Amino acid sequence: MKNTTVLISGASIGGPALAYWLNRYGFTVTVVERAPALRLGGQAVDFKGTTHHTVLERMGILEEVRRRQTGGADQVIVDANGRRLTVMPGEFSGGDVEILRGDLAALLYERTAGNCEYVFGDSITSLTETETGVHVTFERGAPRTFDLVVGADGIHSNVRRLAFGPESEYVKFLGYYYALADIDTGFSGAMYNEPGRMVSVGGPKAPAFFVFASEQLDYDRYDTGQQKRILLDAYRGGGWKIPELMAKVPDARDLYLDSISRVHIDRYAKGRVVLLGDAAYGNTLGGFGTGLALVGAYVLAGELAAAGGEHRTAFQNYNDVFRGYAKVARQGTAGPFLAPATPAKIRMRNWMFKRRFLMKAMLKMTDWFATDIELKDYPKLVRTAAPR
């Protein structure tokens, strides 16, 4: 086996999932995560179709994911007076199995922490490739050399920036922002729209979930106070319960704001560095991100093991096998659907939820996208090593 030491940047979903498979195949794995600890809580993520279920089952976590599932809840869409207009069914937003992102991350961490090295509170500052490996420097830790480096660090990937180039070359802003706020709303299961903005309370994403149209903003993604001010400005003058919700934003226990953007990249690998999950094929709120990351981790690790660690062959096969499956992330945008720009478009979106045949057609289409790949049974193709 070649190239047995692997550094993974990112300890959310894709990173630990890849660590699980690589460790199973005999690789030595280190995961570095900028956050000081595992990020618990957060929005709900979902899985749909036989492909997602097969990977979860092969990892041995399907039943545990089902045990921890939140259950997709219906969202009642209301007008400014709180009158019911229509319902967004739970199966539309929650897939077959829905689980809190933090619960899934904890589950994957539990399965890998004993055999893989996790370094929290640190980040990569440089990558220098040599003939035999990648020399890596860190913000805090001492420099180290690894055979391979994986960027599983999200749509704003630090690894992609260092190895491929500036984010502006690979990430397209789609005209919207979203925010997740942990606040006490006092009510649940309701969604309200005004042209260019949406608010949902008690839904699957967070206690309060916001989507709003905007020009591209220049702000510090790690400054929560600044993010709160952006959200307050975006929802000034809003109707329904918006003033009450905005009054609670300054004291929110947790708040996360980010752009709705899409990654465009021709190849997932450059030399000894490869991208996984949102870093390679992200489409914010597109509904497939977690599934793509989990299946991508399975394919990438499997191809590395099948190639005996020969990274050129493995990365090329990963790119060839996965690119067609990830095409769903290269199209569509959730912003105009969740926060339509005009009253007429809001009515049209609501009308769709009242037409059962349209709902069935959309669900059938998403199931097709989620299963549009022929999974190799990698564990049977390679001789697995006993976990360390």
Q: How confident is the model over 221-240, as pLDDT tens digits?
A: 889 999 999 999 999 999 99
Structure tokens at 201: 């309370």
pLDDT at 18: 98
Please tell me the predicted confidence (pLDDT) of residue 180. 92
Tell me: the pLDDT tens digits for 241-273? Answer: 999 999 999 999 889 999 999 999 999 999 999
Mean pLDDT of 186-195: 88
Mean pLDDT along residues 26-53: 89
The pTM (predicted TM-score) of the whole model is: 0.92
What average pLDDT does this structure show over 75-95?
A: 84
Does residue 94 carry a pLDDT above 70?
A: no
Q: What whole-number distance in Å separates Cα of residue 146 and Cα of residue 239?
A: 54
pLDDT tier at 387, thresholds 50, 70, 90: very low
- For the chain, the average pLDDT equals 90
Do residues 263 and 170 make contact, with C-beta atoms less than 8 angstroms apart? yes
For the beta carbon of residue 360, count every other beta carbon within 10 angstroms: 10
Cα distance between residue 283 and residue 196, in whole Å = 19
DSSP state of 277: T
Query: What tokens does 253 get?
Result: 């226990």
Tell me what the mean pLDDT of segment 310-323 comes to. Answer: 95
Highest mean pLDDT among 88-97, 137-146, 215-224: 137-146
Q: What is the mean predicted confidence (pLDDT) over 42-47?
A: 80
Q: What pLDDT score does 383 carry?
A: 56
What tokens does 354 get?
Answer: 């009242």
Confidence (pLDDT) at 388: 46
pLDDT band at residue 134 using 50, 70 and 90 as cut-offs: very high
Q: Which of 48, 106, 20 is nearest to 370 (CA)?
A: 48
Name beta bridge partners: 88: 75
Exposure letters 47-60 (e unless 16+ CB within 10 A, then b): bbbebbbbbbebbe
User: Using 50, 70 and 90 to split pLDDT, how confident is the model at 303?
Assistant: very high
pLDDT at res. 21:
97
pLDDT category, 173, cuts 50, 70, 90? Answer: very high
Say how many CA atoms lie within 13 Å of 51 toward its Cβ: 23
pLDDT of residue 320: 94
pLDDT, mean of residues 44-55? 87
Round to whole Å and give the CA distance between 115 and 220. Answer: 35
Query: Highest-confidence range of 61-75, 124-138, 187-201, by mean pLDDT?
Result: 124-138
pLDDT of residue 237: 96
Residues in contact with 51: Cβ distance below 8 Å, sequence separation at least 6, in sequence order:
291, 295, 370, 371, 372, 373, 375
pLDDT above 70 coverage of the chain, percent: 91
Q: Which residues contact 129 (CB under 8 A, 6 or more apart)?
A: 135, 271, 272, 273
The more confidently predicted of residues 13 and 92 is 13
Q: How far is CA 241 from CA 80, 85, 192, 343, in A?
A: 8, 16, 9, 18
> Given a cut of 50, is residue 304 above it in pLDDT?
yes
